[in-house]
């Protein structure tokens, strides 16, 4: 019985700590500065514009991607997850099809400063 | 070693492309080696104090710690941007990798004779804490590997890997328990296992990892 109570107490404490950790982490993700990023727009001419620029059709904003995705508190904590899913997963899929799909694994292949906007 | 080979084969299976380059895949393979060793050691804890298996158990733990350290430091060396994955804002599956490494070092170090005597009042306390730390370590490692999804991209790979990591050591453990693991030579099985040299194991794992990376790079024409 004593062991069960200890186990239940530890589980509750772990859940509470986990919740606090996730809350704190979400704030950190929203506030952290962006990593440098390079993007070759011309290399993506074969991709349908609205595959990335969803705002062209759903009226969710204007300007550069990061104008919303870094500043909008409803999505800025998800930026890494969303852009990795958009860019990296597409590159992975292209390479799986035997086509040249751009960087997939090494962070520095994308996260390096662009020469010009 | 056969288990390591099978685990790497699963990670290399169809759907695991693309390659991240030789060194990236080599370091990933080292991570799989460490995972395999960690999973194997959970079933290799049969009364280690009373048998020569203790030496092998300890040597493999130290080998796992060395390989896991090389896995992490290697990534930092070839791609400093990976440092972002050590920050508190990093994805949790990466932070769990850091936690797993810390637990591996703590579990291994605290089981060496001198620290163990200082840290634990008796053998019973050591065994309880060692098991608890191991289970946390195993959970964190598994979460890190399966959630990262760099090589495991299909449900079949995940299922095959889980079957290997749970099934193979469990089968070996059950066979040993049932006394079916009869020695091939005159030497007792426990003595032969105890002589499994950690350096040779490490070298074999390096070679397997290099083969994994080479094959993956060769299979990906556009990488």
Q: What is the pLDDT of residues A36-76, one digit of tens each?
A: 888 888 888 888 998 899 988 888 878 888 888 888 888 88
Based on the domain organization, do A28 and A40 belong to the same domain? Answer: no
pLDDT at B187 over 70: no
How high is the pLDDT of residue B106? 93
Q: A69 by DSSP, 3-state: which?
A: helix
Based on the domain organization, do A39 and A54 belong to the same domain? Answer: yes
Based on the domain organization, do A20 and A50 belong to the same domain? Answer: no
Average of per-residue pLDDT across B77-89: 90
Based on the domain organization, do A49 and A22 belong to the same domain? Answer: no
Per the domain annotation, does B7 fall within a domain?
no
B28: closest chain A residue by CA? A105
Query: Alpha-carbon distance B217 to B20, whole Å?
Result: 8
How high is the pLDDT of residue B18? 67
Residue A96: which of B18, B89, B150 has the nearest Cβ?
Answer: B18
- Give chain B's domain count: 1
Lookup result for tokens 């020569």: B52
Query: Alpha-carbon distance B137 to B143, whole Å?
Result: 10
How high is the pLDDT of residue B180? 53
Based on the domain organization, do A39 and A23 belong to the same domain? Answer: no
Contact A25 B92 (CB under 8 A): yes
Query: Alpha-carbon distance A88 to A70, whole Å?
Result: 19
Which of the given ranges, A35-49, A82-96, B94-108, B198-212, has the highest pLDDT on average? B94-108
Tally: H helices and E strands in chain A: 6, 0
Based on the domain organization, do A18 and A47 belong to the same domain? Answer: no
Contact A32 B79 (CB under 8 A): no
- Banded model confidence at residue B100, pLDDT cuts 50, 70, 90: very high
Contact B223 A95 (CB under 8 A): yes
Contact (CB, 8 A) for B141 and B41: no
Per the domain annotation, does B62 fall within a domain?
yes
∠ at Cα B151 (B148, B154), nearest 5°? 95
How high is the pLDDT of residue B98? 95
Query: Alpha-carbon distance B20 to B221, whole Å?
Result: 12
Chain A environment of B79 (Cβ under 8 Å)? 106-108
Based on the domain organization, do A5 and A52 belong to the same domain? Answer: no
Based on the domain organization, do A61 and A108 belong to the same domain? Answer: yes
How high is the pLDDT of residue B195? 53
B73 or B4: which leads in pLDDT: B73
Based on the domain organization, do A106 and A70 belong to the same domain? Answer: yes
How high is the pLDDT of residue B177? 72
Average of per-residue pLDDT across B192-217: 73
Contact B24 A104 (CB under 8 A): no
DSSP class of residue B74? H
Q: Which residues contact B78 (CB under 8 A, 6 or more apart)?
A: A106, B23, B24, B27
Chain A environment of B15 (Cβ under 8 Å)? 96
pLDDT at B188 over 60: no
How high is the pLDDT of residue B186? 45
Based on the domain organization, do A60 and A28 belong to the same domain? Answer: no
Residue-number span of the structural domain to which B167 is assigned: 32-179+188-218
Average of per-residue pLDDT across A8-13: 90
Question: CA of B58 to nearest chain A CA: how many angstroms apart?
Answer: 29
Q: Is B122 exposed, middle or buried (0-12, 13-18, 19+ CB in 10 A)?
A: exposed
- Give chain A's domain count: 2
Based on the domain organization, do A44 and A96 belong to the same domain? Answer: yes
Per the domain annotation, does B36 fall within a domain?
yes
Based on the domain organization, do A44 and A86 belong to the same domain? Answer: yes
- Banded model confidence at residue B183, pLDDT cuts 50, 70, 90: very low
Per the domain annotation, does B117 fall within a domain?
yes
Residue-number span of the structural domain to which A26 is assigned: 1-32
pLDDT at B127 over 90: no
Contact (CB, 8 A) for B54 and B62: no
Query: Alpha-carbon distance B167 to B152, whole Å?
Result: 18
User: Could you give the ipTM of this predicted complex?
Assistant: 0.78
Cite the DSSP H helix spans in B89-197: 92-109, 113-119, 123-148, 155-177, 189-194
Residue B89: which of A29, A101, A104 has the nearest Cβ?
Answer: A29
Average of per-residue pLDDT across A88-116: 83
């Amino acid at each position: 019985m004593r062991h069960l109570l200890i186990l239940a107490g530890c589980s509750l404490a772990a859940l509470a700590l986990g919740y606090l950790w996730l809350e704190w982490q979400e704030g950190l993700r929203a506030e952290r500065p962006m990593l440098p990023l390079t993007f070759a727009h011309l290399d993506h001419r074969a991709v349908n514009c609205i595959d990335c620029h969803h705002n062209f059709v759903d009226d969710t904003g204007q300007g550069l991607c990061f104008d919303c995705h870094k500043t909008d508190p409803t999505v800025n904590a998800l930026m890494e997850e969303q852009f990795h899913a958009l860019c990296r997963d597409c590159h992975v899929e292209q390479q799986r099809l035997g086509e040249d799909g751009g960087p997939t694994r090494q962070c520095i292949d994308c996260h390096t400063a662009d020469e010009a906007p | 070693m056969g288990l390591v080979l099978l685990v790497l084969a699963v990670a290399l299976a169809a759907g695991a492309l693309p390659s991240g380059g030789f060194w990236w895949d080599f370091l990933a393979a080292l991570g799989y080696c460490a995972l395999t060793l960690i999973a194997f050691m959970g079933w290799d804890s049969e009364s280690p104090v009373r048998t020569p298996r203790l030496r092998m158990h300890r040597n493999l733990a130290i080998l796992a710690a060395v390989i896991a350290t090389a896995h992490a430091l290697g990534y930092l060396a070839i791609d400093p941007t990976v440092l972002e994955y050590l920050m508190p804002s990093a994805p949790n599956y990466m932070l769990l990798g850091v936690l797993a490494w810390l637990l591996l070092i703590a579990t291994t170090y605290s089981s060496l004779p001198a620290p163990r005597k200082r840290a634990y009042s008796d053998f019973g306390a050591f065994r309880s804490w060692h098991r608890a730390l191991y289970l946390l370590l195993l959970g964190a490692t598994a979460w890190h590997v399966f959630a990262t999804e760099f090589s495991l991209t299909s449900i079949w790979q995940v299922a095959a890997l889980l079957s290997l990591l749970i099934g193979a050591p469990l089968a070996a453990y059950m066979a040993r328990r049932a006394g079916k693991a009869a020695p091939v030579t005159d030497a007792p099985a426990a003595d032969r296992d105890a002589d499994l040299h950690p350096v040779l194991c490490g070298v074999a794992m390096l070679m397997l990892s290099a083969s994994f990376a080479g094959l993956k790079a060769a299979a990906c024409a556009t990488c």
